[in-house]
Each structure stands twice: as structure tokens, then as C-alpha cells.
Amino acid sequence: MGLISEFHVAFVGVGPRGISTLERLAAHAERTDHHLTVHLIDDTEIGPGAIWRTDQTRTLCMNTLAHGVTLFTEPGSSVSGAVQPGPTLYEWAKLMRGDLDEVPADHRLAVSKKTYEEFKEEIDGLVEHSHPTRALYGAYISWVYSVVRERLPENLTVVEHLARVTDLVDRGDYDELTLTDSAGATSTLQVDRSVLALGWLQPAATAEEEALAASTGTWVRPGNPVEQPLDEVPAGEDVLVRGLGMGFFDIMAMLTLDRGGRFVPSDNEAGLIYEPSGREPRLIVTSGRGWPYLAKPQYGSMPPAAHMPRTRAAIAELSGRSDIDYDTEVWTHVLRDAYEAYYLTLGLDAETVAGVVDKHSTIDELNAAFAELVPDTERLDLNHEAAPLAGVATDIDSLTALVRQGLIDDLADSAAASESPRKQALAVIGAARKPSSLLGTPGRFRTRNGYLRLVQRLGQMAGSGPPAFRNEQLVALIDAGLVRFLGASPSLEIVDGGYRVSSPTTQNEPVFATTLIDAWLHDSDSRRPADSLITAIRAAGRSRPYVYPDDTASGSPEIEQATGRLITAAGTPDERIFAEGIPLHDVRPDTTSSPLPGTDPAFLQETDLVAGALVDTL
């Protein structure tokens, strides 16, 4: 049969999710006789996007392991389009260095000699549990894109646009996009469908951020660290930092290693000393919890599955239900699994441990029960893990010493890995995030607070922390006098020429600096968009926020779950606009995780669903 008609499809934002959607669209295109011209639109780099751009500093690494990410579907995946196998990032690196051992035959695709030469030192040293640089992952995404283009069917053509979509207007039978390039030049594009894969979207400024922007000090606003103006941060001065998650560790590395400093092996507790360049600032750091993210366990391989028999059984039983009470129907099982994992690893008898955990349903009850069996110094207390500075009132130097010792202890647990009771307990909390998200999205839990929030926050700190070497570097910087800690629950005062920050942990003693860095990325929030495209779509009534069953508006747009199409203000699916990925964090589960091989990842299920629905609506 000949081609029936021509359709133009815009992919707005083409990072890894956009490339995966293109790959899935190619797999579904065989089901249509139409010709599709796909316009790939990104203002940074087609494939890597802003986060994984290939020209960024090699100082920054992934938070994922080399053998723990793929952009290819696998046999047994629950995708409806044809499976197109390919290598994981680690297997791709092995192919480049000519090592075919344990690379499946259908993963042995042609690779780029130029990429190997560009990243040779890193690729030659890569093992399955390495944390690749973000630039190398960007190169992997670019290579996957090249593979996808080679595999395109005859009825699918790709056109690239290095620009940003700044407006979208309904012209009746089609949408007209306005594209703005880096020079400010604009052009228009007529499309029949649009797929929004926009990644981390900054929301409009809060009242505090508007005041900070108008301040006379130097404020580094939240954002992607490689895009933050860290060159404005002065050397040799105190600098306030809010945030102790991954953004902090990135900024810490960029303000030291990228300014000429060196970490040198040592026989001290951290295993490192820091040799400064003299261009570093002195960081005074605070956050809501006041404690740095924890180091990942050093398994020397891909991590084993967490001990979650009760949690998995409970979630399987609840699957398909709505109006779920997370605190009583899920959290109790997560808690029992965590305590059981801890005490089994500690060496207690399995029957004894099970007998204790199955009789109790709160942290306090479990703490009291195990107090009769285990000395204080060997017990687990999840209350302390969740709020390590609760009740602490001291000075900055004493707090810094306390945090330093906590980092040293955590690094010892990281090195012990599967033999660390604490890391095995926290692994349960970290691993509980994804199945909890899958179970509860969208709007199936009675409340989003309570223990669900504890699992998300503690699980993030414990399960998505930095590689251990970053925490070792942090200790070395503490020892060099370049990092100190202010405490939890900070308060900010904007003053002439700078900022004062205080914390009850350090008895509300204010600290002044002329520079303040906010070390995090905002969650996207469709209720207060800063992006002109999202503003235009919402103003035209072509999207609306998802509303939870308790009538609270979420930060994500509502979508038709079966297709990914935006829901309009009138409550009907938009005929032409699809959305996917990170901005849908309140309506789709697990939107930020990279696709993990062998897990039928939600990432690839979503891109396949959107691609299939797009073809079905032509």
C-alpha cells in the first residue's frame, strides 16, 4: 500500500527521553502507512540535552552505575512496539575497547572510534560498577541516537532544530510553533502533533527568590550546576550554600577540582588530603535536614536486591486498589523489612528477628523490643537516620566535627556494603520508593504526607546519595577548613551587601556572606510556569493541573494515562499535545530514574506508550 498522507510531529526537548521516544516511534511506525516527519527541537544538544551535554566538565559523574543504564528495550519488556536490543552503557564501552566478553550477540553494534579516542582514559578504566562521567553518558546517548537514525523505517524522517520552542498556537487543523535560536532569531513550524519531553523545568520565582534577585549580594539561583554561574563565586571568602544533596556535591567538586585543587591519597581516615589552589571559597553549608546525603555502598558489582519480602507481598496484594492508607497498609511492611534486614545482617537468628518485627508496627516499638536483645551501640534507630540533628544545639565548629565523624562512620558502612547492617536497612527504605510510587500514582493514596514522605526523603538521601569518593572528598575539604556546617531548618535574612543565615542547630547564631548558592533543582510546577511554552499552552486552555482526590492541585499537568495526551481545561484530552517525563512527577511513577536493565523500566514503558498512542491518533 502506498503512503496515505504526511504528518509532522514535534519532539520538544530531546534528551534521553526524547531519543527513546524516537526509537519507540520507529518501532511503532510499521503499523501506519502515513509518512512521519519528526522535528527534534532542543536548544542545547540533540540527545544529551542540558543535563548530559558532552562538552561539560569531566568532573561531574552520574549517580548511576555504568552497567545500570540502557536506552534499549529488552526481550520480555512490557512494551507494545517491537523490541530493539542494544548494549548498556558499560557494554557499549566494552565494545569500544574491543572487549566482547559477556556482551550478548544482539548487543554487539558498531561503535565510534572517535568517541573512544575522546574518552579513552575513562573508557579503558570503566568497570560495571563505575560512576561514568555525565559527558560520557551524553556520548552514549548521542551514539544511541545514531543507531536509532540508522534503524528508521522508510516512512519516518528526522529534522533537527537547535532552538527553543517559545510559543504554541492552535491554527485550527494544526499547531504553529515559534522556535527561537541562541541568537534570538525566530521561525515558525507547522505540526500535527507535539510531544513535550521537557525535563527539569524551572518554575516561576517564589517571593523569596524575587527578593534574592533584587538583593545587592551575589545569589546563585537553583539550577543545573553546569549552567549556574559559579565563576561569580569569589575565592578566599565565606560563601553560604543551601542544600546538601547531589547539587551540593556537584558544586563542591566544581569549586575545588575545577579551580585547580587536588585530592591526594593519604593514610588518614578519609583516605585523602586536599591540596588547594588558592582559588577556592570557604563553604558554610545548611539544608532542611542539615546533613549530607549518604555515600552509596561499595559492592564492587551491581548492587543486590534489597530485603523486602513483606513490602513486595503487600504491594502485590494492593495492586489495582485505590484509597490506600500508606501508613498502615504499606509503611508497616517497609519498616519491618528494614529492621529485619538490619538485624539479620548483624547476625541475629532469623526466627528471633522475624518474631520481633512481626509483633510491632512503629519505630519506637521496634527500638524498644530490640533494646532487650542488642547493646545500644549496635541498634538501629530510623528516627535518628531521618533527623540526625534533632535535639542538637551547639556551635558551628562542634557541629562540623559531629558531621565529619558521621561521614567517616558512614564511609566505613559504605565500604562494608552488604556486611553493613545499617546500609542494608537503608537499602530497604531507598528501594521502597519506586514500588511505592508505582502503587500510588496517580492519587491512589489517601494522603501524600506521613510515612510516604519519610520514605521518599530518607530513601532519597540513602538511596540516591553520591559515590563514596565524593564523601571522602568532602571530609578532606572539612579537614582543609574549606567546608563547615551550619545546621538544619535554616532561616535567611537578606541584608545590605549580602545574606545572613542561621539555624536552631547552631543556636540561631547568624552567619554573614556576600554570596549565597542555592544548590538544588526545583521540581517542575505547572501551576506557576516560567517557561513561555507551558504558559502559552495553559493560557489557551489546553492543559490543567492534576488535582488529587482531596481537591489539592498538584505541580504536574493532568494527562490521559492511556496515551499521555494533556487534559484540557474542559476535561477532555487534547488532540495534538502529548507530555512525558519529569514534569509529570505527580501523575506518572518514577519519572526521574534512568532505565535500569532487566527491570522493565517505567521510563521505557512511558516512551513506548506515548509513541504508540501518537501513531494510533494519526
Share of the chain above pLDDT 90, in %: 92
> What is the SS3 string spanning 526-573?
CCCECCHHHHHHHHCCCCCEEECCCCCEEEEECECCCCCEEECCCCCE
- Are 74 and 155 within one domain? yes
Q: What is the structure's pLDDT at 589?
A: 82
Task: Specify whether 545 is located in the same domain as 442.
Answer: no
* Same-domain status, 578 and 495: no
Examine residue 548 and state whether it is found in any structural domain, yes or no. Answer: yes
The tens digit of pLDDT for each residue in 466-507 reads 999 999 999 999 999 999 999 999 999 999 999 999 999 999
Q: What is the pLDDT of residues 158-206, one digit of tens each?
A: 999 999 999 999 999 999 999 999 999 999 999 999 999 999 888 999 9
Q: Is the domain of 62 the same as that of 185? A: yes
Q: Assess whether 478 and 552 both reside in one domain.
A: no
Of 518, 551, 586, the residue at which a domain comes to its end is 518
Q: Structure pTM?
A: 0.95
pLDDT of residue 212: 98
Q: Is the pLDDT of residue 357 over 90?
A: yes
Residue 298 lies in a domain: no
Q: What is the pLDDT of residues 404-452, one digit of tens each?
A: 999 999 999 999 999 999 999 999 999 999 999 999 988 899 887 789 9
| In a shared domain, residues 373 and 451 | yes
Asked if residue 171 and residue 237 are part of one domain, the reply reads no
Q: Which of 463, 485, 504 is the last residue of a domain?
A: 463
Q: Quick one: 511 and 559 in the same domain? A: no
Q: In this structure, is residue 173 part of a structural domain? A: yes
Residue-number span of the structural domain to which 143 is assigned: 6-202+525-616
**The last residue of a domain, from among 489, 518, 547:** 518
Count up the domains in the chain and report the number. 3
Q: Looking at the structure, tell me whether residues 224 and 195 fall in a common domain.
A: no
Contacts of 426 (CB under 8 A, 6+ apart): 294, 338, 385, 458, 462, 463
Together in a domain, 266 and 172: no
275 Cβ contact list (under 8 Å, min separation 6): 261, 262, 263, 264
Q: Please, what is the average pLDDT of the chain?
A: 95
Distance CA 369, CA 339 (A): 11
- Tell me: do 271 and 183 sit in the same domain: no
**Cα–Cα distance for residue pair 238/228, rounded to 1 Å:** 18
Q: What pLDDT score does 1 carry?
A: 38
Residues in contact with 203: Cβ distance below 8 Å, sequence separation at least 6, in sequence order: 522, 523, 524, 525, 527, 528, 529, 530, 555
Which DSSP string do the residues of 425-478 spell out, in sequence order? HHHHHHHHHHHHHHHHTTTTBS-SSHHHHHHHHHHHHHHS---HHHHHHHHHHH
Determine, yes or no, domain membership for 302: no
Cα(165)–Cα(404) distance, rounded to whole angstroms? Answer: 46
**Distances in whole angstroms, Cα of residue 231 to Cα of each of 279, 411, 474:** 11, 31, 21
CB 122 within 8 A of CB 136: yes
3-state secondary structure (DSSP) of residue 160: strand
Evaluate whether residue 16 is within a structural domain.
yes
pLDDT for res 526: 85
**436 in any annotated domain:** yes
Rounded Cα distance between 486 and 503, Å, is 6
Question: What nine digits make up the cell of 179?
Answer: 522556535
Query: Three cell numbers at 293?
Result: 546525603
Judge whether residue 2 has pLDDT over 80: no
* 301 found inside a domain: no
DSSP 167: E
pLDDT of residue 497: 97
CATH number, domain with residue 54: 3.50.50.60
Distances (CA, A) of 363 to 333, 369, 384: 12, 10, 10
Say if residue 322's pLDDT is above 70. yes
Residue 469 CB coordination number (10 Å): 18
Catalogue the E-assigned strands of 58-153.
none
For 452-473, what is the mean pLDDT?
94
| 3 — pLDDT class (breaks 50, 70, 90) | low
HSE, side-chain direction, 13 A CA sphere, residue 279: 14
Residue 250 lies in a domain: yes
The b/e string for 54-78 (b: 16+ C-beta within 10 A; e otherwise) is bebeebbbbbbbbbbbbbbbbeebe
Same structural domain, 156 and 251: no
Residue type at 449? Answer: N
Q: What are 491's strand-pairing partners?
A: 502
Q: What is the mean pLDDT of residues 227-234?
A: 97
